[in-house]
């Protein structure tokens, strides 16, 4: 036993907890929650730790790195598909025909429709993704995204006219909206506070540029190897094998790799499991995180967490009057309650500010994706014309 500061006797500590106490002491030196973990170790709290405290104890390691790789691959595949129309644009007609052509780029109006269709679908997908992730889990939302993503990519490649191509691009936008918000939220739920901001920013910050670069490289490779007839020099093929259709499905490859990593190494979010009352499953995920990170000795109370209290039976406003026999909310009632909380004080003002900030960020990001290709094309054509004039 060990004497407390006021002369009393502290709670006895077992011998098998000595190693855990030593490891936890070394960890507290660099942990942002060192005061909280220290208080819990000294017995200042008699109740079970919260989920956030257990995630801090499990720390950052190989578990989060695997998840981060999978999430970045999802975004890489999306960036490839979004960039693909800019790479193949001079092979898509906009004058009533559709398909490979050497007559120059399509009409400006058709290009505007193709560029805006995924963004319109993204709006619907973002709302749908949040609903699916809150009701059925983060995995369910990502599986739905992948199914729609693969189908829309194949539809884009097999399109035979402008209408089907634009419809496929809009469906692709829905799949993108399903994934990105869920990915960044999922990563935030798995990462300790000290690493959370950087981990979340790496997903789009690394995934989008890598996907765009891969698509440009794949476009150059396919165009050089498949789009020219032997003996014709640099003249593109006007008929025959349509190389650009292969390019429209190139993004499926990293998406499949991401699904494999998700299935093998990234379990369901413990936040979601705890929110639906699956406390045992949430605790198993926490123990898996600690085992992979080699921090099992740092878990508090063996990885147990404080369960969330269900909405009271008489609280019709919180549950919408839809409670099961064990006092849990139905999926529909939980979605309605969470939506109402986001739009009610004190969160509504913060939500509006965040929405405005994200809209401004989106203007810069997507504006650059749309405007820069046109600028580069203009400079390229201008330089080519000057070089031809100089040669003459």
Q: Does residue 87 sit in the same domain as residue 210?
A: yes
The answer to whether the peptide bond before residue 190 is cis (omega within 30 degrees of 0) is: no
Q: Does residue 182 sit in the same domain as residue 222?
A: yes
Q: Does the residue 361 lie in any domain? A: no
Q: Does residue 244 sit in the same domain as residue 257?
A: yes
3-state secondary structure the chain: CCECCCCCECCCCCHHHHHHHHHHHHHHCCCCCHHHHHHHHCCCCCCCCCHHHHHHHHCCCHHHHHHHHHHHHHHHHHHHHHHHHHHHHHHCCCCCCCCCCCCCCCCHHHHHHHHHHHHHHHHHHHHHHHHHHHHHCHHHHHHHHHHHHHHHHHHHHHCCCHHHHHHHHHHHHHHHHHHHHHHHHHHHHHCCHHHHHHHHHHHHHHHHHHHHHHHHHHHHHHHHHHCECCCCCCCECCCCCCHHHHHCCCCHHHHHHHHHHHHHHCCCCHHHHHHCCCHHHHHHHHHHHHHHHCCHHHCHHHHCCCCCCCCCCCCHHHHCCCECCCCCECHHHHHHHHHHHHCCCCHHHHHHHHHHHHHHHHHHHHHHHHHHHHHHHHHHHHHHHHHHHHHC
Nearest to 163 by CA among 86, 102, 96, 244: 96
Instruction: Give the pTM.
Output: 0.74
Q: Is the pLDDT of residue 241 over 80?
A: no
Give the total number of structural domains in the chain. 2
Q: Cα(201)–Cα(224) distance, rounded to whole angstroms?
A: 35
Q: Does residue 115 sit in the same domain as residue 136?
A: yes
Q: Does residue 54 sit in the same domain as residue 120?
A: no
Nearest to 64 by CA among 161, 213, 198: 198
Q: Is the pLDDT of residue 127 over 80?
A: yes
Highest mean pLDDT among 259-263, 374-378, 388-392: 259-263
Q: Does residue 107 sit in the same domain as residue 128?
A: yes
Q: What is the pLDDT of residue 385?
A: 47
Q: Is the pLDDT of residue 48 over 60?
A: yes
Highest mean pLDDT among 243-247, 255-259, 294-298, 352-356: 255-259
Q: Does residue 279 sit in the same domain as residue 178?
A: no
CATH number of the domain where residue 180 is located: 1.20.1250.20
> Quick one: 188 exposed, middle or buried, by C-beta within 10 A (0-12, 13-18, 19+)?
middle
Q: Does residue 126 sit in the same domain as residue 172?
A: yes
Nearest to 118 by CA among 74, 166, 75: 166
HSE toward the beta carbon, residue 34, CA cutoff 13 A: 9
Q: Does residue 209 sit in the same domain as residue 66?
A: yes
HSE toward the beta carbon, residue 27, CA cutoff 13 A: 22
* Residues above pLDDT 70, as percent of the chain: 66
Q: Is the pLDDT of residue 328 over 70?
A: no
Q: Does the residue 152 lie in any domain? A: yes
Q: Does the residue 194 lie in any domain? A: yes
Q: Does residue 297 sit in the same domain as residue 154?
A: no
HSE toward the beta carbon, residue 31, CA cutoff 13 A: 23
Q: What is the pLDDT of residues 305-322, one digit of tens each?
A: 998 765 444 444 444 445
Place 12 in a pLDDT band, splitting at 50, 70 and 90. Answer: very low
Domain that holds residue 23: 16-58+273-303
Q: Does residue 22 sit in the same domain as residue 50?
A: yes
Q: Does residue 91 sit in the same domain as residue 214?
A: yes
Q: What is the pLDDT of residues 145-169, one digit of tens each?
A: 999 999 999 999 888 888 888 999 9
For range 348-371, the mean pLDDT:
73
Q: Does the residue 123 lie in any domain? A: yes
Lowest mean pLDDT among 12-16, 23-27, 158-162, 333-337: 12-16
Q: Does the residue 121 lie in any domain? A: yes
Q: Does the residue 341 lie in any domain? A: no
Q: Is the pLDDT of residue 91 over 80?
A: no
Q: Cα(275)–Cα(319) distance, rounded to whole angstroms?
A: 14
Q: Does the residue 326 lie in any domain? A: no
Q: Cα(64)–Cα(292) distance, rounded to whole angstroms?
A: 9
For range 89-101, the mean pLDDT:
59
Q: Does the residue 206 lie in any domain? A: yes
């Amino acid at each position: 036993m060990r004497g407390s500061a006021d002369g009393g006797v502290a709670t006895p500590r077992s011998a098998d907890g000595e190693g855990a106490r030593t490891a936890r002491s070394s960890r507290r030196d660099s942990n942002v929650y060192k005061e909280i973990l220290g208080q819990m170790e000294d017995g200042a709290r008699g109740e079970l730790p919260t989920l956030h405290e257990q995630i801090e104890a499990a720390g950052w390691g190989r578990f989060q790195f695997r998840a981060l790789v999978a999430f970045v691959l999802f975004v890489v595949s999306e960036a490839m598909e979004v960039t693909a129309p800019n790479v193949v644009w001079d092979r898509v007609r906009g004058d009533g025909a559709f398909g490979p052509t050497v007559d120059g780029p399509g009409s400006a109006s058709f290009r505007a429709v193709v560029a805006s269709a995924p963004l319109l679908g993204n709006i619907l997908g973002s709302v749908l993704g949040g609903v699916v992730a809150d009701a059925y889990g983060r995995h369910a939302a990502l599986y739905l995204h992948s199914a729609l993503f693969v189908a829309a990519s194949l539809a884009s490649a097999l399109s035979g006219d402008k209408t089907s191509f634009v419809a496929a691009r809009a469906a692709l936008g829905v799949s993108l909206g399903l994934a990105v918000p869920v990915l960044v939220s999922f990563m935030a739920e798995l990462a300790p506070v000290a690493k959370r901001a950087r981990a979340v920013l790496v997903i789009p910050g690394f995934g989008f540029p890598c996907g765009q670069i891969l698509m440009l490289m794949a476009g150059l490779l396919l165009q050089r190897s498949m789009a020219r007839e032997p003996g014709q020099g640099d003249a593109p093929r006007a008929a025959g094998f349509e190389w650009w259709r292969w390019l429209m499905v190139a993004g499926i490859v990293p998406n499949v790799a991401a699904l494999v990593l998700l299935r093998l190494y990234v379990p369901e979010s413990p936040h979601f499991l705890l929110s639906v009352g699956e406390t045992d499953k949430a605790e198993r995920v926490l123990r898996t995180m600690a085992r992979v990170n080699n921090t099992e000795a740092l878990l508090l109370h063996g990885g147990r967490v404080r369960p969330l209290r269900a909405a009271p039976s008489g609280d019709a406003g919180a549950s919408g009057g839809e409670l099961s026999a064990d006092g849990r909310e139905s999926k529909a009632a939980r979605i309605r309650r969470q939506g109402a909380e986001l739009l009610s004080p004190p969160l509504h003002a913060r939500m509006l500010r965040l929405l405005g900030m994200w809209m401004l960020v989106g203007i810069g990001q997507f504006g650059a994706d749309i405007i820069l290709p046109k600028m580069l094309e203009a400079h390229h054509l201008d330089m080519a014309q000057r070089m031809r004039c100089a040669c003459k």
